[in-house]
Structures are given as C-alpha cells and as structure tokens.
Amino acid sequence: MSVVGASPAVGLFCVPRSPPSNIPRFRMAVRSSAVSVAPILTKLKHECATPLPLLRHVADAMAADMRAGLAVDGGSDLKMILSYVDSLPTGNEKGLFYALDLGGTNFRVLRVQLGGKEERVIDTEFEQVSIPQELMFGTSEDLFDFIASGLDKFAQKEGEKFYLPPGRKREIGFTFSFPVRQTSIDSGILIKWTKGFAVSGTAGRDVVACLNEAMERQRLDMRVSALVNDTVGTLAGARYWDDDVMVAVILGTGTNACYVERTDTIAKLQGHDSSSGRTIINTEWGAFSNGLPLTVFDSDMDDASINPGEQIFEKTISGMYLGEIVRRVLLKIAEAGAFGDSIPEKLSTPFVLRTPDISAMQQDNSDDLKAVGSILYDITGVESNLSARKIVVEVCDTVVKRGGRLAGAGIVGILQKMEEDSQGLIFGKRTVVAMDGGLYEHYPQYRRYLQDAVTELLGLEISKNVIIEHSKDGSGIGAALLAAANSKYEHDF
C-alpha cells in the first residue's frame, strides 16, 4: 500500500495486528468481580509506580550510563554512537535532495527543493509505503530490493518543480532507525535489528552497501550522502528552524534519543576531529535498563520476544509494547475468572491489542464507556459491563503512566548530563527537546505524564526553560539537509 502525502506518524507506533480474522469468538459473561481483580490491580499499580525518588534514580542512572558509554565502547547499556554529524543545518542549504526513511512498519521517501535562507523549503513531496510483514522476517536482499523499487517509482514521478543541475546524481539522506555502528557519515554496520524486525543477512553489514547493491539491481543511479538515525534526522530537521534544539527523542514503535555533545567529553573519540567541537551522539537509549520498575508481565513479554534481555527501556515505554503489556494484564485478570467463565481466544493472541487501541479506549469520556466496550469486544472478544470497562481503563492508565513518566526521566537524565558539562548552558537558557513519533503524537495522556515527570524532576523554574516540542516529520527533511551538508558536489551554501 502506498500513501501519498499522508502523515508518516500514523501507524508508526504499533506493529500490525496479526491475528487471523476468523478466530472464533467466545462469549464471556462479565461479572463485576472486584474481589478477584483487586489484588491483581493493586500489585500492578504498586510495581508500576514511579514516585519521584525512582524517577530521580532513573535520570541519574541514565546520565551515568551515558558517561560510561562515552568513555569506552561497550562501557554501558547505552552504545552512545558517534553520528559523524558535526555541524547542523544553517538554513543556507540549497538544491534538490531525497530522503529515504526506514524504521518501522512503513518506509518513507521524500524529495525536497531547498532554497537557502530566504526561500527555505521551496517544495516537498513524499510517499509512504507499508512494509509487508513477511519482509520483516525475510532476507536482506528482499527487503532492500523492495525499498529500492519504492524509491525508483517515487523518483520517476519527479516533476518540473524540482531541479537538479545537469550531470549530477540525485543524493539521498538515508534514515535507518536501528542501531548502527557508523563508520563515516555515509556508511555504518547494523549491530542488530529491533522493533520486531528479524531480517537475515543484514546484521554485521554496511546498510548503505546493502541499499547501493539493491539500487544497482534496479539500475537506479542515486547516491547516499548521509546515513542517519531517525533521532539525528529529527534533531537536524528541528534545528533548521530553531537554534535552541539540543536533544531529539523518538517515541513511536521504538524509542531513542540523540543530543549535541562536546567532543572534549568523549573519551572514546579517537582520530575523529570535529571543527565545531561538537558532534551528535545517538544514545540508543532503548537498551537502558538500570532501576526500571518491572512486572511479571514485562518479563514474560521479554522472554517471548525475539530479543530477550535486550531493549528493556524500549519494551517499557514505547508504542510497540504498551498494548501488549496491557493485553497480558487483561489476560491474567480474565484467567482469574474476574471477567467471566471463559477466556476469549483473541485475548490470548500476542500483540492483538495495539497501543493505538489502548489510546482510543483512554479517550472515551462517556458515562458508560461505550467506546471502551466496543473496542474491547472487537479486538479481544471480551464482553464487558461498566465496572469491567473501568478496570480496563485503569490498567491502560497504569501502564501508560509508567511509560510516559520513565520517558520524562530519561530526557531529564540527558539534560542533566549536558548541564553538568556546560553549567548554565542548558538549564540557564531556553533549551528545546524535539520530539517525534506516533506514540508521542497520538497519546495525550502519555504526553502529559511525560511532561509531569520532567516538571517534577526539574522543578517549576528550570522546567520553564526546557521546551518539549513536537517536531512533526522533521526527520525526513533533516536527513535531506544532512545529505545537502555532505553532498559530493560543490555548493555555494
């Protein structure tokens, strides 16, 4: 399916629902059984609680893990990857550039005509293509062939609004949103897949080479000038409009953060000079795990995942997993007999309940929680009365509150580390955190919990200086801007 000009964020914070549609629906009489549910709920709330001291511990541990990861490769859970992006867009960038974004259940292609300081973004066009699920488990060639062919089709539709001087190749900023050990601005080795991808033959390889080979097979004459993580693209895109942007965070299917670091604080930086004295570090914070409040539902989900023991922060706070954690809790409640005598088969299907579904349930303000009832029935087969619906909303809220607050603590950890190294330059002035991703965009309660945690941790005064701002779709333009900055051709910007 190809969506032209649609929002890329839609669908990005979930995995596709995969149960067969012909699963029989078992009717379940729902008794209001507060007695059997209460202990489960109480325990869940207790174990998911994120009081201020716990948040403080998480923020401190995040800052400490950042330092350890900057000292030496493998120094902590956080990989603290060098992005090779040492200068951010200035606004002077000019010309036609492409961006290709692979990071979740969709990939996006974009072209932009940049017009420098005066005209900025003259024109932009994009297409979004959903990735067939079998390709997420197939071979590297199949996945990259699919992407290159999508890019080819899109490039062929380039109209006259876009202009490239004769004799030049079209240049691409390639946003690849998985952990990559960058070897230069336009090359990098895939460390591992995340977010449910299990494509064979890519880990350990240069992903730009994989794309180049696929483009050659398509006879597509384009060149990758910059390979960037989505966080780095978002930071570059947001910085194009606002000089105070220092951090970028993605909260979508997966999660990650990057920030502007002083090169003199990076002990592991050897032989990499940065004329600006600054570079962007991709933290890969999804792998963080220190001091997180976890439940048996988290550990069971982790055990059943394709990457057990990995990406624990991501599994606690990101869109791919929140719905699944809720489903596991609801199953437990159903097994305790609290919802009736039988358990609908659908409720036992992993990942059937997606984060957009729990978000939709939490937006139901009606007295009888009618929407909660119908979403629950349609998706899990559970028939519910009002008290059962209230319990379900409480479960969603507990899991989402933990996620949002922990994400907020992670952000504070990064800001804290930056402030420690540059007293007053972060908390003493306006500092912007650019946010993107469907979870952040489409889940108001999550957003509020995140902001609350930041405010609680920093206090009212300092938190006034920290602006958490949605930077919608910034990563595509950001990648194109970085392609411009790293173009092999002479430009007058």
Q: Is 230 a catalytic residue?
A: yes
Interaction of residue 456 with ligand BGC, rule CB under 6 A: no
* Contact set for ligand BGC, span 259-288 (CB under 6 A): 284, 286
Of 419 and 436, which has the nearer Cβ to ligand BGC?
436
Interaction of residue 230 with ligand BGC, rule CB under 6 A: yes
Of 144 and 339, which has the nearer Cβ to ligand BGC?
144
Annotated catalytic residue within 77, 86, 186, 195: 195
Using CB under 6 A, which of 236, 250, 312, 439 touches ligand BGC?
250
| Residue with the CB atom nearest ligand BGC in the bound state | 254
Interaction of residue 231 with ligand BGC, rule CB under 6 A: yes
Which H, E and C letters describe the chain, residue by residue?
A: CEEECCCCCCCCCCCCCCCCCCCCCCCCCCCCCHHHHHHHHHHHHHHHCCCHHHHHHHHHHHHHHHHHHHHCCCCCCCCCEECCCCCCCCCCCEEEEEEEEECCCEEEEEEEEEEHHHHCEEEEEEEEEECCHHHHHCEHHHHHHHHHHHHHHHHHCCCCCCCCCCCCCEEEEEEECCCEEEEECCEEEECCCCCCCCCECCCCCEHHHHHHHHHHHCCCCEEEEEEECHHHHHHHHHHCCCCCEEEEEEECCCEEEEEEEEHHHCCCCCCCCCCCCEEEEECCHHHCCCCCCCCHHHHHHHHHCCCCCCCHHHHHHCHHHHHHHHHHHHHHHHHCCCCCCCCCHHHHCCCCCCHHHHHHHHCCCCCCCHHHHHHHHHHHCCCCCHHHHHHHHHHHHHHHHHHHHHHHHHHHHHHHHHHHHCCCCCCCCCEEEEEECHHHHHCHHHHHHHHHHHHHHHHHHHHHHEEEEECCCHHHHHHHHHHHHCCCCCCCC
Using CB under 6 A, which of 195, 328, 354, 442 touches ligand BGC?
195
Using CB under 6 A, which of 256, 316, 380, 384 touches ligand BGC?
256
Annotated catalytic residue within 77, 230, 298, 436: 230
* Contact set for ligand BGC, span 68-107 (CB under 6 A): 103
Using CB under 6 A, which of 124, 175, 229, 355 touches ligand BGC?
229
User: Smallest distance from the beta carbon of 236 to ligand BGC, in angstroms?
Assistant: 14
With CB under 6 A as the rule, give the number of residues binding ligand BGC: 17
* Contact set for ligand BGC, span 286-345 (CB under 6 A): 286, 314
Binding part of the chain for ligand BGC, among 65-73, 154-162, 223-231, 420-428 by CB under 6 A, reads 223-231
* Contact set for ligand BGC, span 130-189 (CB under 6 A): 177-179
Interaction of residue 254 with ligand BGC, rule CB under 6 A: yes
Which of the residues are catalytic?
A: 195, 230
Binding site for ligand BGC (CB under 6 A): 103, 177-179, 194-195, 229-231, 250, 252, 254-256, 284, 286, 314
